Structure formats: structure tokens, C-alpha cells
Structure 1
Amino acid sequence: ERIKIMENYGAKVHELKLEGGSEGSIAGAEVEIDTRIKCLEVESKNPKVWWARQFSNPANTRAHVKTGREIVQQLGEPVDAFVASIGVGGTLYGVAKALREAYPDVLIVGLEPGSARYPISGGYTHVPGTGDEVCGGIIEEMMNSGIVDRVVKVSNSDAIAMSDRLVREEGLFCGISSGANAFMACKLAEELGPGKNIATVLPDNRDRYLSEKKYTT
């Protein structure tokens, strides 16, 4: 479906077979390395090609600082915790910056796939053997800043189950990253107890998971 949409916009789609990897529906860098290398190669050979580099583009983080400020404005009361999956890190880092500015004691929690081979929770900000051209970026800057209080793992099965619930019970046609976020937000609500405000985002549409293809932005 997404390939057809892109082709209708005039894009020439290059498909790559990705081998192995972690649970790509929640992951970022690990499942994207091969495609990032290809993007770098294509861009270097063609002056008409521009690669957005979502994983290292500072505009990504800046955009989500605005998301964080919107959360502060619309909620109108303190945010006790914010949780978001770490794809390339822009959402978590940008929102965290805005929330920490407004509420210095807010708990910032990042999520990663339970099967990650090089877990951020284990200290990895690069996939071993890769350079800064295709890895590191926002995630490395974010983790070095100390703004994230915890990085926890969520299984694909828990994320999928919650995304299914969001569709059935709330009518929200969202994807697996959204399911992971909602799953952990519920867990944090149980941990922190009554009267606490737990914020998250639903960043993906379910239509991107109608097939198992992976995409690099």
C-alpha cells in the first residue's frame, strides 16, 4: 500500500531485502542500517538526490519540542511522566526537552524492542561496525544528555495486543509503536498510582503494518 502511494507521488521505489534484525515494528537503527547505507550510496552518486536523514536531522527534534509544548498547553496541569518508543529518537528527545523545561521532575521513559540485539538500555547508541553517516545521531545525543531517566523493553506481542485494543475499544486505527507507547503508559500509571498524569503519543497509523516491509526516512 505504501509503495503504491509513493509511486503515485512520482517516487521511484528501491526495495531491499533485510535479513535478521530485531522487532522492526518498534525498532529504529538496527533494522534500518542496510537501507541507510543504500540511501547514502544513492545520494553520493546523484546530485539530484536528497536524503532526509531522519535519524540525525536536528529538524526532527525541533519539531517535537513543539509537540511537547502542545502537550503542556493542552493538558493544563503537570505532566508526571512521558513515555515514547525510540525509533530514531526525535519524538522522545524533543518532547522531553519541552516537558523538562516546564516540569523539571517529569519522568522520561524510552521504549525499545524486547529482542534488540544492541539495546540502548545496555549502553548502545551505535550499531557496532557502523559510522556516524548511518548511525548514532539523535539517539546518541539524547542518551549522552542524560534527559532520559529509563529505557525499558516492550515485546512485540504486548505492543500488538495493545494496538488491537486501541482499535477495538477506542476506535483508534494506530500501529504497533502506538501500542507499545500505550502499553507502557498503562504500566507507568499502575506504578505511579492515582492522581498522576502520564503522557504519550500515538505516532503511527495501522496501515503501515498491513505488510512487513520496512522503510527508511
Structure 2
Amino acid sequence: MDDVKASILSAIGNTPMVRLNRTGCRNIEIYVKLEYYNPSFSIKDRIAIGMIEDAERKGIINKGDTVIEKTSGNTGTGLAIACAVKGYHFVTVMSAGNSMEKAQMLKALGAEVVLVPQQPGEDTDTVSRKDNEAVERKTDELTEKLQAYRPNQYINPVNYLVHEYTTGSEIIKQTDGNIDAFVAYIGTGGTFVGISSALKKFRKDIKCYPVEPESAQFLAGKPVITTRHKIQGGGHAVKPPYWDESLVDGYLSVTDDEAINVARYLAAKEGLFTGYSGGANVAAAMKLDDSMKRGSIVVTILPDTGLKYLSSDLYKFDD
């Protein structure tokens, strides 16, 4: 019975890594870590269980309590699974600009979903900075009203520590330490900061590159043209509270079209079905091809599955 998990929570982590074979890159090899192998099909399962168990150890929550979180959907689904297994009532607050598959999945997992309408003038299928701020206000209001515990992935240090001790360590082990660069799209910043911390502690010469939308290169210090982009889960022109500039070796950016086209390539040519940020990560990694030595290994993340975006522009095709 060694292969039987005590619960679905024991199935989080230890996700596989795959080499891409048809990128057309001449100098670099790109390895992707398939985080949609987690139970809710997203990398956010890691921080969800980490934040809940941290709160339990500190005596902040007890069975039957209410947990609330602002999310673009993926952290919410991870928390919904953790709360379902552990006996908490979970409320998730998200923008109506996120894909509806995420909201439907949250409801199926027993979560109470509060959808915040998009702000006047904002585009559908996007979550702008204004939309994000509206969700934050609603979350604050409901947290006080419900007397709920909010893990708050945006400021909770467990967010990046989980990635340092699990995701980062897994990457080092899976590559046998043979890694030259790491690339990750910036949402809360936890994935990049945590994994980059692990990699830099392992070997200081590993290059780490955060990725932003081309129209909102805020962390790179460039003028923000607009936060109305399609790469969900980040790019809101906000500096993460635990951002560590010492981990950054350079900034990369991608357009909506680049993220979409590469996500579609991954599905059609590599058999890897991912979302917007997965496409953005690989598109950004490919941009390192001309600047790195032949045989260099670049690692990035496929944070979630394309199944969560079937109603969006990502997988709409002209017949």
C-alpha cells in the first residue's frame, strides 16, 4: 500500500519535467516543469496547502472556520481542495475578467465564489490593474464582514518559501544541477523569488529572468503603456512585497500574441496543453537563444492547464 496517498493533498508536488523538442532554438535547450500535474491542475496547489498548514501550526484557524482569498482562480482552486479536505468553509473573490472555467471549477470544489464585475471601460478576458484593485477592495470588505482568515498570497512569505524548498529543490534534482537559466512570469512573485532563491543558493552563476507583459514592464523600470493584457494572473504593474532585486539577472517581456502563439505551439507540436502564462514563459525563454552558449539549459514553468481557458481567446480558432 506504499503507493496509496493518505489524501489528495499528498499528491501535490514532485511534478515531471519535459524537454521541448521543436522550438527551433539553436543554442538552448528548454525544459518545462509541468505544474498542471498537481491536483487542481496548477502550481498554486503548492502554496495553498503551505499557507493553510502554516496557519494551522500557528493556531490561527480551526475546523469549521472560514477562509477567504483574492485570486485569479488558480490559488483559489488549490485552497478549495485544501479546505474541502481539512474542513474549512472557503470563499474566493475574483474578477469577472478571468476565465469562467476557473469559477466553475471552484464551485464544483465546494467554494463560495464572489465575482467582482470588471471596471467601466476595461476589456473582457483581461484583468487590468483597476479590475485587480476592485477585487482587493471587495476581499477586504468580506474578510472583515465574515471574520474570515485570509492567507493573502500577495504578502504571505509561505508563498515564496514553499517554492524555494519544494519546486526549486525539485528542479535542481531533476536537472542534476545542470541548469544555466530560469525564466518565470511574475504574478505574486512567489514562484520566481522562491525558485530563484533555491537556484542561486545552489549555484550563483545560474541566470534568473522575470517575465512581464510587453505593455506593462513595471519591474523592469520601463513606462507602463497599459495593464490591459491577456496574460492572466499577473502584469498589474505592482511590485511584490517580498521582491528581491538581487535575484534578477535581466528582464524579459512578451506580447499577448507571443504568449498565445507559443501556448498553441506547445499544444499542437509538443502535446503540452497550458495557459497564457505557460505560453508567456516559453516565449520568453526562447528569446534567450541568441544570447546563450550552445547547449545551455533553460528551465521554465507551465503553471496550469489550457483546460481552464477554453472559453477565452487562447484556444479560439477560425474554422
175-184 vs 201-210, greater mean Cα deviation: 201-210
Higher relative contact order (CA 8 A, sep 6+): 1
Query: Are the counterparts in 2 of residues 113 and 154 from structure 1 also a CA contact under 8 Å?
Result: yes
1:141 aligns with 2:242: yes
The alpha-carbon deviation at position 149 of structure 1 amounts to: 1.9
Matches of 2:158 and 2:215 in 1, distance apart? 29
1:90 aligns with 2:190: yes
Match of 1:182 in 2: 282
The alpha-carbon deviation at position 189 of structure 1 amounts to: 2.8
1:28–1:101 distance in 2 versus 1, CA, 3 Å: farther
Q: Give CA deviations for 1:115-162 in whole Å, capped at 9, x if unaligned.
A: 22x7121279xxxxxxxxxx967x24224x421122222101100000
Please tell me the residue identity of whatever aligns with 1:64: H
Is the helix fraction higher in 1 or 2?
A: 1
1:209 aligns with 2:309: yes
The SS at the match of 1:110 is strand
1:174–1:72 distance in 2 versus 1, CA, 3 Å: same
Q: Give CA deviations for 1:164-216 in whole Å, capped at 9, x if unaligned.
A: 0000011111011000111111111332031211111111211222245xxxx
The higher radius of gyration belongs to 2
TM-score by length of 2: 0.56
80-89 vs 57-66, greater mean Cα deviation: 57-66
Which residue of 35, 39, 63 corresponds with 2:139? 39
Query: Are the counterparts in 1 of residues 154 and 241 from structure 2 also a CA contact under 8 Å?
Result: no
Match of 1:50 in 2: 149
Match of 2:111 in 1: 11
Match of 1:70 in 2: 170
1:190–1:172 distance in 2 versus 1, CA, 3 Å: same
Q: CA RMSD for the aligned pairs?
A: 2.7
Matches of 1:158 and 1:67 in 2, distance apart? 26
Matches of 2:113 and 2:157 in 1, distance apart? 25
Matches of 1:29 and 1:67 in 2, distance apart? 28
Give the length in aligned residue pairs. Answer: 198
Match of 1:80 in 2: 180
Unaligned runs of 5+ in 1: 125-134, 213-217
Identity %: 32
1:117-196 map, 5 Å: 119-122=218-221, 139-143=240-244, 145-196=245-296
1:169–1:15 distance in 2 versus 1, CA, 3 Å: same
Query: Are the counterparts in 1 of residues 157 and 242 from structure 2 also a CA contact under 8 Å?
Result: no
Matches of 1:29 and 1:94 in 2, distance apart? 24
The alpha-carbon deviation at position 18 of structure 1 amounts to: 2.1
Greater than 6 Å deviation, 4+ residue runs: 21-25, 27-30
Please tell me the residue identity of whatever aligns with 2:109: Y
Q: Give CA deviations for 1:17-67 in whole Å, capped at 9, x if unaligned.
A: 223569986x896752221221111001111x2323122121110111121
